[in-house]
Amino acid sequence: MASLDDILTAQKNGVVAINGINQAMAGIYAYMRGTPLSSGAAGTGGFSTLYTVPSNAQMAITDIEICNTSAVPATFYISLVAKGGTAGASNALFYAAPISGYQTVQWTGQQVLAGGGFVAAYASASTVTFKVGGGPG
């Protein structure tokens, strides 16, 4: 443990000591990148729910990855929907977005959904997969 003299000298010299800075930075990076919340194919022909925020929480959606695992181009749709809402054009994050064969699209940002809100998606082909990441909002 540092003595009071060491702390005062460090402060006078403009040095800030933070215990566990590596862990703190890793935690910040993980939050910004998002913890995986859901992954898989969403289906075709209509919206299906990828992730629902627990009723007693709120969640910051920070990362969504869309991957076309086929050589055939496709389109995809993703909506961020408030509790009681319906997925569609009015709450679309992506709407009829094209994705080439064997391509991955990544969205990063921060959209907070309250409890009961959900992420819904679908694609024109079952070969399009989705991964949703985030953390407490």
Reported confidence tier of residue 76, pLDDT bands at 50, 70, 90: very high
Reported confidence tier of residue 137, pLDDT bands at 50, 70, 90: confident
The two three-digit tokens of residue 54, written as one number: 């627990």
pLDDT of residue 35: 86
Enter the pTM of the model. Answer: 0.76
Distance CA 137, CA 135 (A): 6
Residue 129 CA, chain-centre distance (Å), reads: 15
Query: CA distances (Å), 130 to each of 64, 65, 136, in order?
Result: 7, 6, 20
Query: What letter does residue 134 receive in the DSSP assignment?
Result: E
Reported confidence tier of residue 7, pLDDT bands at 50, 70, 90: low
pLDDT of residue 101: 97
Under 8 Å between Cβ of 47 and 95: no
pLDDT at 2 over 70: no
pLDDT at 99 over 90: yes
Comparison of pLDDT for 5 and 94, the residue scoring more: 94
Percent with pLDDT over 90 in the chain: 69
Distance CA 28, CA 19 (A): 15
Strand, coil or helix: 102: coil
Catalogue the long-range contacts made by 4-10 (C-beta closer than 8 Å, 24 or more residues apart): none
Query: What is the average pLDDT score of the chain?
Result: 87
Residue 45 CA, chain-centre distance (Å), reads: 24
Task: Give the tens place of pLDDT for each residue, 49-73.
Answer: 999 999 999 999 999 999 999 999 9
